[in-house]
């Protein structure tokens, strides 16, 4: 998709498409982590979103808050962080890709791997939110790398199609 002088990016449509894609891909990533859990149960007792919020000074009463569904305690604050991250990057991806289509190379897989490296190998270990990359188990790297590919591929497919539908002349 190349932009010509006649084509203009519909920013509102890109944001709507990115938002919807981010929510859907957030569910994909959660499902992925049920099949290939990235962390041991001990490390997941306080998960990275909870740790990050606590590092930011948010009280544990909030960061470890749960709701009950089908007798499971579900971490609502972690889910807010999870979907916030997913949606934010889906919007960024969709908007940037409408201006610079090369970002879609690999249908989102390359972008997803770049996000994984930036956050799971770089930023979060530097912040001490997660262990350093060398101290993370191989299973964590495999799950997170493949999960980020599936997550961003979903963003690419859903965002691209929704943007097309929102901007196609009727």
Gap between the Cα atoms of 106 and 102, Å rounded: 9
Q: What are phi and psi of 13, to 5 degrees?
A: -65, -40
Residue 44 has a pLDDT of 86
pLDDT tens per residue across span 58-70: 999 999 999 999 9
Instruction: Give the pLDDT score at 14.
Output: 97
Going from the C-alpha of 67 to that of each of 42, 76, 78, 119, 170, the distances in angstroms are 21, 7, 11, 28, 44
pTM: 0.91
Q: How far apart are CA 163 and CA 169, in angstroms?
A: 12
pLDDT tens-digit profile of 127-165? 999 999 999 999 999 999 999 999 999 999 999 999 999
pLDDT tops 60 at residue 57: yes
Convert the pLDDT of each residue in 91-139 to its tens digit.
Answer: 999 999 999 999 999 999 999 999 999 999 999 999 999 999 999 999 9
């Amino acid at each position: 998709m190349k932009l010509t002088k006649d084509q203009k990016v519909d920013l509102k449509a890109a944001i709507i498409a990115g938002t919807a894609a981010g929510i859907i891909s957030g569910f994909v990533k959660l499902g992925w982590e049920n099949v290939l859990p990235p962390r041991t149960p001990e490390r997941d007792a306080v998960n990275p979103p909870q740790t990050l919020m606590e590092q930011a000074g948010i009280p544990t009463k909030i960061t470890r808050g749960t709701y009950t569904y089908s007798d499971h305690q579900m971490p609502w604050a972690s889910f807010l962080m999870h979907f916030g991250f997913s949606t934010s990057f889906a919007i960024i991806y969709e908007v940037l890709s409408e201006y610079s289509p090369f970002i879609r190379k690999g249908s989102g897989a390359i972008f997803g791997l770049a996000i994984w490296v930036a956050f799971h190998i770089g930023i979060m270990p530097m912040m001490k939110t997660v262990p350093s990359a060398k101290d993370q188990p191989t299973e964590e790297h495999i799950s997170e790398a493949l999960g980020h590919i599936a997550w961003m591929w979903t963003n690419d497919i859903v965002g691209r199609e929704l943007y097309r539908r929102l901007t196609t002349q009727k």
